[in-house]
Structure 1
Amino acid sequence: MISIEDLSKNYGGKKALQQLTLNIKSGEIFGFLGHNGAGKSTTLKSLVSIIEPTSGTITVDDLDLKEHRQTIKEKIAYVPDTPDIFLQLTAMEYWDLLAAAYDLSENEVKQRRQKLVDLFNMGEHVDETLASFSHGMRQKSVLIGALLSDPDIWILDEPMQGLDPQATYDLKQLMKAHAAKGKTVIFSTHNLDTAQQLCDELAILKQGKLIYNGSVNDLLAQHDNESLESIYLKMAGRQGDGHLVDDIEGETHE
């Protein structure tokens, strides 16, 4: 169980996150939805101790994050929203670096690494540098590195971005299997279909505030005969009624 209580983060005068309170249960896939700048990445980076919240508390399995930071970090796999890190390393060097950071022995990591490399079709590229990779291949490399230690909690920030359809499907299956083992998957996405397919629960953020927390089915039940896209846009942003698009198209053709 992950508990977030009154979490806030200010950047100067900007309130990136405002008194967010959530409970994320073990054994579920929990999704964050929201426009760019809504507070999704700020929340995830707070969970993995990349940024320090302005106020509020985070507890993981009844352990306070501030007091037990290292213990909690060892439970977490994190995939950032951009995979542009350690670009001078080869993929294998990058994975070896992460294995060492988690103090994993070669025997512990070798079999799992090979399964992930095979799954994401990276076998021919392990000795190439991350700098030479496409965005999608870097994303695969970062995913493999994050999952090497087989941690209980996966925190994935836009993890399907740049992935090809096969890799996207395979990652979704991995996420489902991980949750089925009683573990936790937390991810952010802009893709409503992905959220609908995967999420046991989701949180919708708007300008740093929580505007919905619950299941997709419950949300759909509250809005008869409306699509998730329509509901989401009504809640989180300008409704796509086409008026502004028509104005722009009109200007274009004048």
Structure 2
Amino acid sequence: MTESTRQGPQPLEQLEQGVLDDTVPLAGLLRLALVIGGHAVSQPLKQWALSELEGYGGKPASSVPDYRRPRAPIQADSHSLTWQRHGETISALHLPDITRGTINEEVTIPYGVGQLQNLIERTPPGQAVHLSLPGAAELRTLMSAMEKYRSRAIIIDDLYWAVSPSVLHDILDQVRTRLTQFVAELRSTMPAGSGTPTPEQVHRAVQNISITTGDNSPVTLTASLAHADHGATASASAGVQQRWWQRRRR
């Protein structure tokens, strides 16, 4: 009886089976990748898997992978003395001048895969997930005080990105695809029948996973071979958890 038989499927074997089965929760697969990264002392793999599990909140925006930076319309809810409007699409140019260069139709999706799945499941068919703009409360006050709104007694009630659930599905699919790519790359470096990769094999596979971040730097998974409402509404603002006026201008 082999060691693999006695102990059951190894993490790589479980990961290989799971990435090909869309019914297997993505969080469990990322935990397997985290274990593999731990055994191989692969900090990049561990960092990426943990970020996808826990989310990118509180981390620099430049560290967020490109597949988590989709475009989505900015929408506003508002009312006056005679009407109410919900889900009105507006341009970033309608926002206060101080947001120029910091807020546009590109939205950073920071949430972990479990929360993304929960947002998708809580969103009624045909509706969007609302992700609040950074500093939305302050922006609502500033906009309501602008002459073009104040003169018509218009009050801005909410400001958010309206993100289609299909966009969130695509993020989850991108993560699963990269896990699949990791398994394929790893298997290509391992002898047939081998169940446990060496640290060097893991590092080589990690180097070949294509993930770029917001500044177009492939820093998330690179390693040296020298190793030893309408729909669901997210309560936290998307992106790094800073006030909007503190965000780095582009």
TM-score (norm 1): 0.24
Relative to its length, the structure with more strand (as a share) is: 1
Q: Which structure: larger Rg?
A: 2
TM-score (norm. length: structure 2): 0.24
